[in-house]
Chain A
Amino acid sequence: MKRIVYREWHIPPARYWGILGILVSVMALGGLAALYLEHEGHWVTGMNNFVVWGVPHVFAVFLIVAASGAINVASIATVFGKGAYLPLGRLSGLLAVTLLIGGLLILVLDLGRPDRLLVALTHYNLRSIFAWNIYFYTGFVALVIAYLWSMADRMGARFKHTLGVLAFGWRLALTTATGSIFGFLVARQAFDTAFLAPMFVIMSLAYGLAIFILVLMFTFHQEERVLGDQLLRRLKNLLGVFVAAVLYFTLVYYLTKAYGAKNYDLVGWLLFGGGGYSILLWIGWILIGTLVPLAMFWHPRTRRDRRFIAVACALVILGGLAALYVILIGSQVYPLQIFPGQTILDSGFADGIKVADSTYHPSLPELLLGLGGVAVALFLTAVGVRVLQFLPDSLADAELPADTEEPSAGKVSYVDDLATG
């Protein structure tokens, strides 16, 4: 067993600056969209008084959820003692921080008064899960940075296990709280269930790992570092399990909703009558985002092919965006049931309008803002791996540390760059 060596990401400068250039361009477009929104007001978006959260929130929630999933790779090594994941811990922590920053940036820039961010940091209503989340997000960033330090610095090594367990618990709380933002909304039928909290946790595991695998494959491929087949197979199989678990949770979510007579109409609308939303649910979320990648992960003819694995990861990500689009926006488009048993003939405020796609049309600035957040996350990651030693020199199967006999609780934690067999 060799020691794990980490090295900066040294791809040819032209290619590196090209990547940065593309990311900076997307960031600039997102920034311009944010300025445009702040200057003109939200009338330039498709959001309105009925669909108050739109495409920016789909991207923001996706990134935040994925961030808490990305740290999972480090947890598997630190908390659950899987040695093969040990060299992946640093990249896992980096992605967790950058994805979260990208997501938060979108949320903040979409506020009606982004200039009042200071107010959000100084006035707290502790009954609000949203206010709790401000603590969860900032605390997560701080905790993961400390965790990264404990992974990289010999001084910090003895805190690594504690910090790893803490980060694992914190990320569970964070994703639970993010799901609860929607789960606590008693007013809207499609939300209003505590089930959304664990469902978001499962989604985070899938989306975070999909992004992690893609970033790992891309960075290693660009620099021709060795990424062992066995390790990739383990990661891929794990992602398959997570994606299947999301499918299970999706199924149970709609089944529990369909159980009450008051929700027959809602579930019928979402699954079949919702026009674009139903199509997105079946084609985007279930088919492209779940069944196709699962087939690619396990079909004998594709499961060893790295191209298929990469494509499957990308599909999981697209499926995740589709899922969140349906969960966030579809649930708002479905009208509030203020008058059960009554048909709304006429209203001065679009009550009861249920024609699919009638109340929300995403606009270009919203999309650019969302993509800008993604670009920020990737930009920070690209800079991080270039200037600091986040990526292991080699992930050849023979060089991976063995699993520890038991989770390393109670023992003095090993320093991972000096790991011995």
Chain B
Amino acid sequence: MMKHPDETIDQGRRDWFGLAAAATAAVAAPGVILHLASANTAPEAQPASSAVRWGLLIDTNKCTSGCRDCVDACDRENGLDLQTKPPTEAPTAWADQKAVWVRKVKLADGLTGRVTNLPLMCQHCEHPPCVDVCPTGASFKRADGIVMVDRHICIGCRYCMMACPYQARSFIHQPMHDQLTRVPRGKGCVESCNLCVSRRDHGLPSTACADACTAAGKGAIVFGDLKDPASPISLALKAMPSRQLREDLALNTGVRYKGV
């Protein structure tokens, strides 16, 4: 399943066997044969670029009550369906403690009573409060605008969760065992929607939630590059009015909503 085309094994290095004790020589030599195959043009070998900015456009007019295909697709894509409630915990407590990257929200206007449905996830701000407050720099924004957590240096202080205006982040409250290879996640770190970052790195066109919404015939979620004027998301944003949630904070979110 895991193919690494640039990892052809150098049979000549068999010679090293048996010379294991000659450690000092061994340290110098590999430098010479390092990076044999460096001219890799596959998308997963290219660094994330600031020439793109990934975003979502959510048309709440097309989103329906009771449908949670985007949530289920997200759970499957990121292995969130593999998290299990600790056996002795109350279900109500677990509902507040399990990781949720995207959630469905149903609103009623206080004056008119007009009902709106929408999915809510990390808004991938240009100026993310979670990144500002993180003491170690674990919460960061990639060149392509994806806001995510480097779990290697996350100490689990949860200050980013205090700072997020969208309550989009989850803390992993229990030990994990059945993670997916592409989505490492473990107890004591914070996480949130990363716009299906492994799909981005492999150059795929969409996110799990957008695909699921399209497959359900709703088409309420459009994913794309906000910096490309010809991308479907840019064209749709240009054609119809949309807004950011908490635009008063001037965070310039990457996720935009129609009809809220």
Contact = CB atoms under 8 A, between A and B. Distances in A.
Contacts of B48: none
Contact of A338 (B158, B159, B165, B188): B165
Q: Chain B interface residue count: which class? A: 35 or more
A80 interface: no
A150 to B, nearest CB: 32
A114 B246 CA distance: 34
Given A43-B173, A342-B116, A345-B106, A112 B187 contact: yes
- Among A123, A128, A186, max chain B CB count under 10 A is at A128
A124 B95 contact: no
B154 A113 contact: yes
B133 A49 contact: no
A128 B109 CA distance: 37
B244 to A, nearest CB: 11
Given A49-B96, A52-B171, A123 B136 contact: yes
B197 interface: no
Interface string A24-44: 000000000000000011110
B173 A48 contact: yes
- Among B86, B164, B167, B260, max chain A CB count under 10 A is at B167
Contacts of A184: 133
Interface stretch (B37-45, B97-105, B216-224): B97-105
A185 B173 contact: no
A151 B68 CA distance: 67
A336 B167 contact: yes
B63 to A, nearest CB: 13
Contacts of B134: 125, 128, 130
Contacts of B97: 42-43, 48-49
A116 B116 contact: no
Contacts of A406: none
A338 B95 contact: no
B156 interface: yes
Nearest to B92: A358
A301 B249 CA distance: 54
A49 B162 CA distance: 10
A117 B97 CA distance: 24
Interface string A119-146: 1100111011111001000000000000
B111 A111 contact: no
A359 interface: yes
A49 B109 contact: no
Nearest to A121: B136
A129 to B, nearest CB: 7
Contact of B157 (A111, A332, A341): A111
A1 interface: no
A311 interface: no
A351 interface: yes
B128 to A, nearest CB: 11
Contacts of A300: none
A348 B99 CA distance: 11
B172 A127 contact: no
A53 B162 contact: yes
A187 interface: yes
A114 B157 CA distance: 9
Nearest to A125: B137
B171 A119 contact: no
A122 to B, nearest CB: 8
B108 interface: yes
Interface in B157-211: 157-159, 161-167, 169-175, 187-190
Interface of B: 65, 68, 71, 86, 89, 93-97, 99-100, 103-111, 115-116, 120, 129, 131-138, 153-159, 161-167, 169-175, 187-190, 245-246, 249, 260
21 contacts: A40-B86, A40-B174, A41-B175, A42-B173, A43-B173, A43-B174, A112-B157, A112-B171, A117-B155, A120-B136, A125-B131, A125-B134, A125-B136, A125-B137, A127-B132, A130-B134, A185-B162, A341-B111, A342-B116, A345-B106, A349-B120
Closest 7 pairs (CB-CB, A-B): A112-B156, A112-B188, A48-B96, A348-B103, A187-B165, A43-B173, A349-B103
Interface of A: 40-43, 46, 48-50, 52-53, 111-114, 116-117, 119-120, 123-125, 127-131, 134, 181, 184-188, 191, 332, 336, 338-339, 341-351, 359
Given A113-B155, A339-B105, 6 more contacts: A41-B174, A112-B156, A112-B190, A116-B153, A120-B155, A125-B131
